[in-house]
Amino acid sequence: MKNKEKYADLIKTISTPCIIEEYYSGENCKEYEGCKGCFGRFLKWLEEEANLEKKQFSANELAIMKSIHKDFNFIARDKDSELYVFVSKPIKIVRAWGNNDESEQSELAIFSHLFSSVQWEDKEPVRIDDYVKR
């Protein structure tokens, strides 16, 4: 995911033509003679990969993730706190994460008490390979 995607809603709220002034409070625009390079740096940043906040998992949770079959790539929790793994990236649908093919998902009922950092409120499902090598 690129910065322009991650911060799209925030970027839409820019109320001044000066990006330094809007996002870098504490920076003094007067030091940037005529905003040299400011807008160019911002455009370059938009195209860079966003730094996603990594979740913290216990050693046991990481061991479980490592043991999940390689076909399953994502973990997410539905609104009823049930934990699932998915082959392809799911999307939020009313009260659950899902995709077009229910055979591409599996409930992890015996591990629902674990993975407390995986929440229904998450904007994205957890990509397993971002945390463990399988």
The pTM assigned to this predicted structure is 0.61
Q: Which helix (H) or strand (E) holds 45?
A: helix 38-47
How does pLDDT run across 23-82, given as a tens digit for each residue?
Answer: 555 455 555 555 556 667 777 878 888 776 789 999 999 999 999 999 999 999 999 999
Q: Tell me, what's the pLDDT at 37?
A: 62
List the domain boundaries for the chain.
3-47, 59-130
d(CA 107, CA 76): 10
Residues whose CB is less than 8 angstroms from the CB of residue 81 and which lie 6 or more positions away in sequence, other chains included: 112, 120
Q: Tell me, what's the pLDDT at 34?
A: 57
- What is the share, in percent, of the chain residues with pLDDT greater than 90? 50
Please say if the pLDDT value at position 132 is more than 60: yes
Q: Tell me, what's the pLDDT at 59?
A: 94
